[in-house]
A = this chain, B = another copy of it.
């Protein structure tokens, strides 16, 4: 009997490990989607954009898969307090990753409207910088979640102000272009939404970091403090 018991315990652990591995795999796809969407936008690469849009189906499917794994673990294993929190947190994280995937898809789709249009190097650099920054935020947030590391989680939340500041700077630059020449307006509104998409990737990374913080400490990273910071930077 001890053997059989041990087997059950080990298999339950395996399922939790598999859940964590699947989230990490989904995270990898999402990071790649952001990188590709930003690159497609900067290079006006329609082929890469279409591939990024198509790849989102796999990200959506992984969210469903994680949801089902979570429900199955809860139903069959009836996890206790700490594990149950982890499984529920996994559902939330998969949800945020799916929305980050949507942001990448939306950016990629918009980028196809820019074929043959030239952006200034300065603007391209700004976009590339913001793309890299939010990609790093997603990665760090997932590291914090995987390692239940509250320090990395706090880093992610604090660094979101950098993302917001970059967005505000892109926003102002786009306003200038629009005012300079009305023919820029249509393209610039699409770019505005692309910038906003990246900024929202930062927000979703923050959500994931908050889940990590909660798992690590049992406490919530007070939403109030962040709200205040965001209001300061965005107003």
Contacts and interface: CB of A to CB of B under 8 A. Distances in A.
Interface of A: 60, 64, 67, 70-71, 74-75, 78, 80-81, 84-85, 88, 91-92, 95, 109, 171, 175, 178-179, 182, 185-186, 189, 192-193, 196, 220, 223, 231, 235
A213 B178 CA distance: 44
A223 to B, nearest CB: 6
Given A75-B81, A91-B91, 12 more contacts: A64-B220, A67-B88, A71-B88, A74-B88, A88-B91, A91-B92, A109-B235, A178-B178, A178-B185, A182-B182, A192-B192, A193-B196
Contacts of A186: 175
A31 to B, nearest CB: 22
Copies of this chain assembled into the complex: 2
A202 to B, nearest CB: 14
Contacts of A84: 71, 74-75
A192 to B, nearest CB: 6
Nearest to A96: B95
A182 B223 CA distance: 38
A92 B186 CA distance: 35
Contacts of A182: 178-179, 182
11 contacts: A60-B223, A64-B220, A67-B88, A71-B88, A74-B84, A175-B185, A175-B189, A178-B178, A185-B185, A193-B196, A196-B196
A80 B85 contact: no
Contacts of A81: 75
Closest 9 pairs (CB-CB, A-B):
A179-B182, A178-B185, A78-B78, A75-B84, A71-B88, A179-B185, A74-B74, A95-B95, A60-B223
Contacts of A223: 60
Contacts of A185: 175, 178-179, 185
Contacts of A80: 75
A19 B154 CA distance: 32
